[in-house]
Amino acid sequence: MIDHELYRDEVLDRQVNGLSGAKPAKSVFEFATRLDLVIIAISCISAAVAGGLNPLLTVLYGQLVGSFNGFKDGTTSATTLKSDISRFTLFFVYLAIGMFVSIYITTVGFFYTGERITKTLRRTYLKTAIRQNISFFDTLGAGEITTRITTDISLIQEGITGNLSVSLTAAATFISALVIAFVMYWKLAFVLCSTVVALTIFGSVGILLPVRWTKESLQYYSNGASVAEEAISSIRHITAFGIQEKMVERYDKFLQRAERPSFKANSITALMMSASEAVPYFSYGLSFWEGSRMHVNGEISVSGLTTSTLAIVIGAWAVERVAPNAKAFVHSIASAAAVLESIARKSPQDPLSEEGTRLESSNYDIKIRNLDLVYPSRREVTVLKNLSMDIPACKTTAIIGASGSGKSSIIGLLERFYTPTKGDILLGDHDIQNLSLHWLRSQMSLVGQEPTLFNTTIFENIVYGLDDETFTACNPEKLRALVEDAATKANAHNFVSSLPEGYQTLVGEKGAHLSGGQRQRICIARAIIKNPRVLLLDEATSALDTGTERAVQKALSLAAKGRTTIVIAHRLSTIRDADNIIVMAAGRIIEQGTHDDLMAKHGQYEQLVEKQRISDQGAEGTLTNEINSVESDSESFSEKAIPFEESESGEKTEAVTLTEAKRASIAYPSGSAQQKKKSSLSWNNLSSTVGLIQRLSRSEVFTILTATIAATLAGLGVPAQSVIFASMISSLSLAPASYLRDRVDFWALMYLVMGLGMFAAYLGQGVGFAYAAEKLTHRTRRLVLSHILRQEVAFFDTKENSIGTLTSLLSSAPSDLNGLSGSVLGALLTFLATIIGGIVLSVVIGWKLALVCTATIPLVAGFGWIRLSMLTLMRDTMKKTHQDSAAYASEAISAIRTVASLNMEARVLKHYNEILSRQSSQAVRSILQASALYAASQSVVFLCAALAFWYGGNLIANNEYSMFQFFICFASLISGAQIAGAIFSHAPGMSRAIDAAQDLNSIFDRQPSIDSWDTMRRKAPEKNAFRGAVEFRNVNFSYASRKDRLVINDFSMKILPGQFIALVGPSGCGKSTLIGLLERFFDPTSGQILVNGEDISKLEVGSYRSLLSLVGQEPTLYSGTIRDNLILGSPDDVSEEDIVEACKAANIYDVIISLPQGFDTETGSRGIMLSGGQRQRIAIARALLRNTKILLLDEATAALDSASEAVVQEALNKAAKKRTTIAVAHRLRTIEKADLIFVLDAGRLVEVGKHSELMRKGGVYKELVKMQNMGLQ
């Protein structure tokens, strides 16, 4: 016997957690191809060779020291010394050539394979994400997906490219140095193995221990990214309610949570790095102390001791080069763990899988048997209860009922978005859970209540309805014919043809350039072109005006013939002719039958019908015109409107169409040429970046100053130890032995003191800069979102400012600034102090050799600078591709239900892969060039050493310099030259920082044309002094890109305080544009808009908008609780009683308190856990809570069922008595009682009057009323 509770929990757990047994990949290298692994193997060998060459310097160095000592004690002549110097100098040249070749191969290999592996990782991550079940996305926002693809995988790429090559080379150097030390004298080398143990412990702890905290921090950043993405994607709502700062505060809470674990991780890394930096000094002291004893005992020569000790020096330098990469490794490991864990998730159903039964025909009855549905995110609520339902094949079945009654849930179950917790859904006798998911969805077309379009052309948006097989079989002519036929049936062809670019018109992000009704018609055309066997219409005509709705409804009725059609509707006129009408309440069926049957029962259905009738009072004569003539008239005036809203920038991007490219993909348009900024490396850009970081870090000035002093002291350690080193070498040639041991003991003690000092200095700079970097990242992220949300609405309508692009900027740019701050800044300051300190010390000790050696530093630095310039250019080339790929992925995930219902997963992945492939091909040439310059910067150090040895050796041979002078100059300046090259190992990070700073300065410096931060204008009146009078005076409006095309044409309207006026007319006639102008989303091209007799453009926009409340046609909720969403935009002193009263007025209170968590119920990302009607009622309650004198209703009740609409409409009517109300409506019954009704067409006012007056007039308004009543006769 089945334990239903256990089965229910198993079903829900599978939907939330995926299938059990999923094991994440152990390493990102599992995503490497065989070719990648071969190249990586070669690169590793080459890195080992490059690392092994470094310590060979110590052998040459030791031999020269032996020659110098021989010259000093008279056993070697000046001629012999010069001969030895020339011979050894030639060996340096050979080492330089070997170093160049090996480093070049290493760098090219790792960067090339890193690009390929992360390309595969990005593709695999999106592939895994897009094939997950819908429950996965109920709480996961598109912002988190974007963050994983951009920031996290970029961190992984850093870890397996530059950081890995540098670290492997350094590791090989360290090992090679130990080998040389053992060869020189094994006893001394054995003693120094303690160094290996200590460095291994510190390195391992420094890399592994912070991973947990870093993962925690990255997760908080991902959660915050979802909040930011929600805010940016609903910018009109954010702007209207003036909640920019509240959304920034909500985002900031996640930043604060991320800051603490991140600082912990960085502090542990700094601690271990400091210990690693101190160990070499202790090793030097130990080496010389023990080595001098062995030397006195005749066990080792000065040459052998010097070679062994210098080998440890080289090994220490290698550790020093690895240490700054430790933080990057930690972030890389943590990011990899998070990404690999996501990739490993196995979805309980896979839309890309071929598994499952495919039926020969889909013309089967649909049977629902004893079905229960519980959403995984709300386990305590049973949405459908023991539901049984028959949906006959090739018939139309309508489902109606109150919001939240379970209507849309049935659609979701048929599409297999969710799995029932009990019962079955049968297609014929086949359980749909056993059918191929891809095949099942291919048999259906879904038009949802919130139309979703992609940021490409109208043509391609319609073509997405075709399956791959049909698309491939069509030639361009046939494809265009199919598109135009579908658009004609959806009553969209005329308005599309009237646009300047016709079907090649870009619709903008989420279709923002089209009106709601136009978007809906494009979605209907997309559904019709598929010629599905099952047509699912979930409030498919809710956003259409009456005339268009009648025409589209007629087309849908024709399309429904011969196929199974399921219609969910609140407008009962659209389902009058359905073969069966099912009335639902609270997840159960309460009535069903035909329209006539249900009317005869005088039950719930009849009551709903009566509520939707519109009064004909005052009409003269009878309504005798035929339906067809009404539709004809409607179409004739509705298509005069030119509703296409282009971006204010006026830019046009030529999109590659499917007919030209023959590829089924969402063609993401590129940014405009005018907007592209050339980001080249220059001193101006570098100083601008430093200046930006300085401004953003003013609050941490004391911390940074302290860390800078610590970094300076750490950098001076190298010149200081060169003095100790030179003194130690000189002491080894002293006699007698007791005096030698005394001097060596003293200098060994100095090494101990220096080690402790260096530990403190490195710890101070590491922790200080880590703290400053966390604050910088936190502050920058907050400021970026704040400045983004500050911009005017038109800013977001441009192609280069897409949601994905801005979310990507917010995610990556602030962290990229750390390329010139944080631990990198500490390393750079340390290097700089080393170079300057070395030069000063060497000039004081021996200016001749100092000048020669100093001259080599600009050479090394020059190579590094050129490499940095090339990397910057390479990033500029690749940056647009990264932005496009991130924006594209974000758009696809944001519309995952549409992607799933259209079976678009494969097409999305194909196009995403094309973007990534373009990126990879662009990178190869830059990698080859930059790697050559990096290899040159590293190998030229050997040539510098050759020059120093040759010139310095000759100075000694000519008795101009002592060994003490030579060793100080050599140790200080050649170390400086090496460090000058090491500075530019940070070149990629510096390049990213410069690039990020330019982007950040662009957004920080941009002054919006309508600025919510502007406090220089006059404040709007206080609420108690505000009357609510509104006047439009000869208003014209056109978008900047189409100044010759007026969207609003010479429009005038006067509204008295407290009046309730309505705006009606066909889709695209300018109704919503008037609302946008009143909200100051845009300013009129000419004319004035007055409120309380004052021009709104003269008022402070923030205080002005606080006097308005807007309820849009697509309700916007945010992640968080119902209470959180209700109080957004309300005064801080709103009481619990106010909240309850507003919810009761919006008819949502009973629904809320019926939920187990009540007002604390989580709504999910974009309110996905609530029905459309519930979201709309919460949005209405939120608007009522603001208690403003002007209430703007843009199709505010469109998503409500008749019962809820009647109650809410009554509440709105009551609310209207206390305030000025402007309502945009297609359901004309909702505005019957309006004081004035303004009828628009093509941006012009064509009729105005009360309902009764307009009915008597017998014009356009009367025809609209007639059409809405006809369906209910």
Q: Is the dihedral of CA 795, 797, 798, 804 positive or negative?
A: positive
Interacting residues of 942 by C-beta distance below 8 A, sequence separation 6+: 57, 92, 93, 95, 96, 99
Judge if 257 and 289 occupy the same domain. yes
DSSP, collapsed to helix, strand or coil, labels residue 1241 as strand
In a 13 Å sphere around the CA of 635, the CA atoms on its Cβ side amount to 17
Judge if 1095 and 1149 occupy the same domain. no
554 is written with which tokens? 């007629």
Judge if 885 and 987 occupy the same domain. yes
**Share of the chain residues as helix, strand and coil, in percent rounded to the nearest 5:** 65, 10, 25
Which of 562, 588, 611 is the C-terminal boundary of a domain? 611
Instruction: Tell me whether residue 1121 is exposed, middle or buried, using C-beta atoms within 10 angstroms of its C-beta: 0 to 12, 13 to 18, 19 or more.
Output: middle
Domain membership of residue 1018 (yes or no) is no
Q: What is the CATH number of the domain that holds 1179?
A: 3.40.50.300
Instruction: Give the CA dihedral 950, 956, 962, 963, nearest 10 degrees.
Output: 50
Domain membership of residue 568 (yes or no) is yes
C-alpha closest to that of 1272 among 620, 575, 616: 575
153 is written with which tokens? 């995988």
Cis peptide before 451 (omega within 30 of 0): no
What's the maximum distance between 2 C-alpha atoms anywhere in the chain?
131
Domain membership of residue 626 (yes or no) is no
C-alpha closest to that of 122 among 83, 153, 88: 153
Judge if 804 and 937 occupy the same domain. yes
Question: Distance (Å, rounded) from C-alpha 108 to C-alpha 848?
Answer: 39
Domain membership of residue 674 (yes or no) is no
Question: Distance (Å, rounded) from C-alpha 1230 to C-alpha 1148?
Answer: 19
Quick one: pLDDT at residue 216?
A: 87
Domain membership of residue 993 (yes or no) is yes
Domain membership of residue 35 (yes or no) is yes
CA 887 vs. chain centroid, Å, equals 7
Interacting residues of 220 by C-beta distance below 8 A, sequence separation 6+: 254, 255, 257, 258, 261
CA 654 vs. chain centroid, Å, equals 25
Do 887 and 803 touch, CB atoms closer than 8 A? yes
DSSP H helices in 150-210: 153-160, 162-184, 186-191, 193-208
- Can you give the residue range of the structural domain that contains 744? 6-348+684-1005
Judge if 958 and 1032 occupy the same domain. no
Judge if 999 and 1041 occupy the same domain. no
Domain membership of residue 450 (yes or no) is yes
Measured CA to CA in angstroms, residue 247 lies from 253, 508, 1082, 1116 at distances of 10, 24, 22, 13
Question: Distance (Å, rounded) from C-alpha 866 to C-alpha 685?
Answer: 15
Which of 1005, 1036, 1052 is the C-terminal boundary of a domain? 1005
Radius of gyration of the chain (CA): 37
Q: What is the CATH number of the domain that holds 772?
A: 1.20.1560.10
Judge if 1045 and 1159 occupy the same domain. no
Interacting residues of 701 by C-beta distance below 8 A, sequence separation 6+: none
Question: Distance (Å, rounded) from C-alpha 611 to C-alpha 1272?
Answer: 11
Quick one: pLDDT at residue 964?
A: 83
Quick one: pLDDT at residue 642?
A: 34
Judge if 333 and 478 occupy the same domain. no
Three-state SS across 981-1010?
HHHHHHHHHHHHHHHHHHHHHHHHHCCCCC
89 is written with which tokens? 């100098």
C-alpha closest to that of 502 among 490, 494, 491: 494
Quick one: pLDDT at residue 1031?
A: 92
C-alpha closest to that of 767 among 273, 1153, 1125, 1175: 273
The H-or-E segment that residue 1051 falls in is strand 1048-1055
Quick one: pLDDT at residue 21?
A: 67
Strand partners, 399: 568, 582
Q: Which residue, chain included where needed, has tokens 């990057």?
A: 328
Mean pLDDT in each 10-residue stretch from start to end of the chain (1273 residues)?
69 79 77 90 92 85 78 80 88 90 90 86 88 78 69 77 78 86 83 77 79 84 86 88 90 91 88 86 87 85 81 70 62 77 84 85 82 83 88 90 82 90 89 90 84 88 85 84 89 86 84 78 87 85 68 72 84 83 88 90 84 51 34 35 36 35 35 40 74 88 92 90 85 78 90 94 92 91 93 82 82 85 82 87 88 81 69 60 75 85 88 80 75 80 84 88 83 69 70 86 89 80 76 86 77 90 83 90 91 89 88 82 88 86 86 87 80 82 87 78 69 73 83 88 89 87 73 44
CA 257 vs. chain centroid, Å, equals 19
C-alpha closest to that of 28 among 458, 450, 340: 340
Q: Is this structure's pTM higher than 0.85?
A: no
**Count of C-beta atoms within a 10 Å radius of residue 500:** 13
Quick one: pLDDT at residue 922?
A: 67
Do 1110 and 1173 touch, CB atoms closer than 8 A? no
Where does residue 467 fall: left (phi above 0), alpha (psi -120 to 50 degrees), or beta otherwise? Answer: beta
* Strands (DSSP E) found in 252-314: none
C-alpha closest to that of 71 among 84, 56, 61: 84
Do 1027 and 1092 touch, CB atoms closer than 8 A? yes
Strand partners, 567: 398, 537
C-alpha closest to that of 307 among 81, 54, 87, 63: 63
Judge if 1177 and 1227 occupy the same domain. no
Question: Distance (Å, rounded) from C-alpha 1250 to C-alpha 1060?
Answer: 11
Which of 611, 629, 661 is the C-terminal boundary of a domain? 611
C-alpha closest to that of 135 among 312, 275, 268, 11: 11
Quick one: pLDDT at residue 1025?
A: 64
Do 158 and 111 touch, CB atoms closer than 8 A? no
Domain membership of residue 1011 (yes or no) is no
**Count of C-beta atoms within a 10 Å radius of residue 736:** 8
Do 445 and 538 touch, CB atoms closer than 8 A? no
Question: Distance (Å, rounded) from C-alpha 123 to C-alpha 146?
Answer: 13
Q: What pairing do the DSSP bridges indicate for beta strands 396-401 and 564-568? A: parallel
DSSP H helices in 1020-1091: 1071-1078
Q: Which residue, chain included where needed, has tokens 């310590």?
A: 55
For helices 244-296 and 822-845, angle between their N-to-C axes, nearest 10 degrees: 40
Measured CA to CA in angstroms, residue 1231 lies from 329, 1180, 1222, 1226 at distances of 63, 16, 10, 9
How is residue 1019 annotated by DSSP?
P
Instruction: Tell me whether residue 554 is exposed, middle or buried, using C-beta atoms within 10 angstroms of its C-beta: 0 to 12, 13 to 18, 19 or more.
Output: middle
Interacting residues of 1199 by C-beta distance below 8 A, sequence separation 6+: 403, 449, 539, 542, 570, 1115, 1172, 1173, 1175, 1176
Quick one: pLDDT at residue 1271?
A: 44
Interacting residues of 637 by C-beta distance below 8 A, sequence separation 6+: 547, 1066, 1241, 1242, 1260
Judge if 1091 and 1118 occupy the same domain. no
Question: Distance (Å, rounded) from C-alpha 719 to C-alpha 727?
Answer: 13
How is residue 531 annotated by DSSP?
-
Quick one: pLDDT at residue 404?
A: 74
**Count of C-beta atoms within a 10 Å radius of residue 565:** 24
Measured CA to CA in angstroms, residue 713 lies from 182, 605, 764, 834, 842 at distances of 33, 84, 10, 9, 18
1216 is written with which tokens? 């209207």
Instruction: Tell me whether residue 738 is exposed, middle or buried, using C-beta atoms within 10 angstroms of its C-beta: 0 to 12, 13 to 18, 19 or more.
Output: exposed
578 is written with which tokens? 């359905």
287 is written with which tokens? 């080496």
Judge if 103 and 251 occupy the same domain. yes
Question: Distance (Å, rounded) from C-alpha 763 to C-alpha 1124?
Answer: 43
Number of domains in the chain: 4
Judge if 557 and 473 occupy the same domain. yes
What residue type is 738 in one-letter code? Answer: S
